[in-house]
């Protein structure tokens, strides 16, 4: 193993939150920061271009994206194949293994969530996380194309734009939603109120149409900093401790391996703190490999227990959607984006819910979602569960850091989730029948068109799919299952924090990238003593 280097802070993961933590900590020239990323550089064209088809190419490129191992249920349904099942199907759960993390392969939709999401976090005992307390951090991050206002920032590193290449279908769909009584059609989901409004999405995309990942937005402008060191192609195996204090990390540096395979062992030392920002699937795995997690599981793998935290790897949440296709009467202008417009609303059975429980994504003519034999001239609407009740978990299968974790999502295991998605199908059809969409809609096509009555539940269990928003596996809180405190410090040890989607006690209402940027900003501010 090579001689270790020493830094003030070590940030593990250059993704949606980690890139921001490293940037903000290195704003202090007296702090030396090491940012470690398992993936490589973000120079690929399919990363820089956020539009179709490049966004799908990025997800399929194994040099920048990982399709995580997802568990099937036991017992396995007799008629199921490995490609079908994980609470309905075998999901392709992609995460970005590249500079920028999953912000390099996602749909570039920027939605902060509902203000009540953060007020709920605070009500759970997470003081400092209410909406009014986190809004200034959102504004600090953001450079909104329409300029600064009460809800948007004007000169932050992250450029945010309104959808700028809308299709006629997207505009008609928002007008159709208004026919049913929703506000819009130019609703600002990141403004005063998210719910019951339809509008075009906002995007984290630069004025030159380059995807603004966290790395591109926050790290690229400070590439010359002497006090910020980036190590790519380097996988962290475990956190090192002296007593109860985290003092560094042990890694495998694949860039130093002549065969670029196994990697060369290397250690780095942290004078102050180690901050894990490896994501909701990787951070709990690293904690458990380091002896922090459910004691029984760790002992079963002969991992010495440093701290028994039963919540590590639990509380796994994700958004879940089903794709519905509608044939157009004639040629349709195709979307450049995986989702152009949307709506957040309450289902009738959950009208008193804390936040909207349904989101609808809309776009036109995406071949990726069109089954063979179906008309290419179509548009899609995807009802999405924003607050699923079902919870999953992940666990280690080995003490070998090269082995992936076992991931069990348990999608649609709670009956109310299934009923809510059934309502989402019906409501999508109601919107599709509105007058504004008549020029764009001949009939519903694809598998969803045949789902009715008793067949709906069977269809949903086979067709619902992940939105690639895993979170919650190292939740923040003050209860027995919490892994980190409101300052994101791991319970029972010193010098170790977590700052990524895994800390969410409850998933945010909408695409999770924006919330991850907030977590990065908040973590850095607390570490630096600004919050």
> Each residue of 63-80: b (16+ CB within 10 Å) or e?
ebbbebebbbbeeeeeeb
Q: Which position among 120, 233, 427, 469 bears the catalytic label? A: 469
The question of whether 469 is a catalytic residue gets the answer yes
Alpha helices in 340-454 (DSSP H): 415-432
Distance CA 255, CA 265 (A): 11
3-class SS of residue 176: helix
How many other C-beta atoms lie within 10 A of the C-beta of residue 155? 11
* Preceding amide of 185 cis, omega within 30: yes
Radius of gyration of the chain from its Cα atoms, rounded to whole angstroms? 22
Distance CA 67, CA 92 (A): 6
Distance CA 372, CA 376 (A): 9
Structure tokens of 353?
């819910």
User: What are residue 513's phi and psi, to 5 degrees?
Assistant: -55, -45
Structure tokens of 214?
């966290």
Parallel, antiparallel or unpaired: strands 320-321 and 378-385: antiparallel
Bridge partners for 95 per DSSP? 66
- CA dihedral 63→64→65→66, nearest 10 degrees, is 50
Are the C-beta atoms of residues 173 and 431 closer than 8 Å to each other? yes
Alpha helices in 88-184 (DSSP H): 115-123, 131-141, 168-179
Comparing CA positions, the residue from 479, 472, 462 lying closest to residue 388 is 472
Are the C-beta atoms of residues 421 and 385 closer than 8 Å to each other? yes
Supply the residues annotated as catalytic: 469
């Amino acid at each position: 193993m090579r001689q270790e280097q020493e830094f003030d802070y070590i940030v593990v993961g250059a993704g949606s939150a980690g890139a921001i933590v490293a940037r903000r900590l290195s704003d202090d020239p007296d702090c030396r920061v090491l940012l470690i990323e398992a993936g490589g550089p973000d120079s690929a064209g399919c990363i820089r271009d956020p539009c179709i088809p490049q966004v799908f190419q990025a997800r399929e490129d194994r040099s920048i994206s990982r399709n995580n191992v997802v568990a099937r249920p036991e017992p396995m349904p007799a008629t199921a194949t490995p490609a079908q099942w994980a609470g309905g199907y075998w999901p392709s759960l992609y995460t970005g293994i590249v500079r920028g993390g999953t912000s390099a392969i996602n749909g570039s939709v920027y939605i902060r969530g509902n203000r009540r999401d953060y007020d709920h976090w605070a009500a759970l005992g997470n003081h400092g996380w209410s909406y009014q307390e986190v809004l200034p951090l959102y504004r600090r991050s953001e450079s909104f194309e329409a300029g600064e206002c009460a809800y948007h920032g004007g000169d932050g590193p992250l450029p945010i734009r309104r959808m700028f290449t809308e299709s006629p279908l997207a505009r008609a769909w928002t007008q159709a939603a208004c026919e049913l009584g929703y506000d819009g059609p130019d609703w600002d989901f990141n403004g005063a109120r998210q719910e019951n409004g339809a509008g075009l999405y906002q995007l984290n995309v630069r004025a030159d149409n380059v995807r603004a990942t966290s790395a591109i937005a926050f790290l690229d402008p400070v590439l010359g900093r002497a006090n910020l060191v980036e190590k790519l192609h380097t996988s962290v195996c475990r956190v090192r401790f002296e007593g109860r204090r985290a003092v560094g990390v042990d890694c495998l540096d694949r860039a130093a391996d002549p065969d670029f395979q196994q990697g060369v062992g290397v250690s780095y030392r942290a004078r102050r703190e180690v901050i894990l920002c490896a994501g909701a699937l990787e951070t709990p795995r690293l904690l458990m490999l380091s002896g922090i997690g459910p004691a029984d599981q760790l002992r079963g793998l002969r991992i010495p227990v440093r701290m028994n935290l039963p919540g590590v790897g639990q509380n796994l949440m994700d958004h879940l959607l089903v794709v519905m296709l509608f044939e157009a009467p004639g040629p349709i202008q195709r979307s450049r984006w995986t989702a152009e417009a949307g709506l957040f609303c309450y289902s009738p059975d959950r009208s008193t819910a804390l936040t909207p429980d349904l989101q609808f994504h809309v776009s036109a003519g995406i071949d990726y979602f069109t089954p063979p034999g179906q008309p290419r001239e179509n548009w899609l609407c995807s009802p999405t569960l924003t607050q699923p009740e079902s919870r999953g978990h992940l666990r280690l299968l080995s003490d070998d850091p090269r082995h992936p974790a076992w991931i069990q999502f348990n999608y649609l295991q709670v009956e109310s989730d299934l009923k809510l998605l059934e309502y989402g199908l019906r409501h999508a059809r109601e919107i599709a029948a509105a007058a504004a969409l008549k020029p764009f809609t001949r009939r519903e096509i694809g598998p969803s068109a045949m789902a009715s009555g008793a067949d709906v539940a069977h269809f949903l269990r086979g067709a619902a799919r992940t939105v690639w928003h895993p979170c919650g596996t190292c939740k923040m809180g003050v209860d027995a299952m919490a892994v980190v405190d409101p300052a994101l410090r791991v319970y029972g040890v010193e010098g170790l924090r977590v700052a990524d989607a895994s800390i969410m006690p409850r998933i945010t209402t909408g695409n999770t990238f924006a919330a991850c940027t907030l977590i990065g900003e908040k973590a850095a501010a607390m570490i630096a003593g600004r919050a």
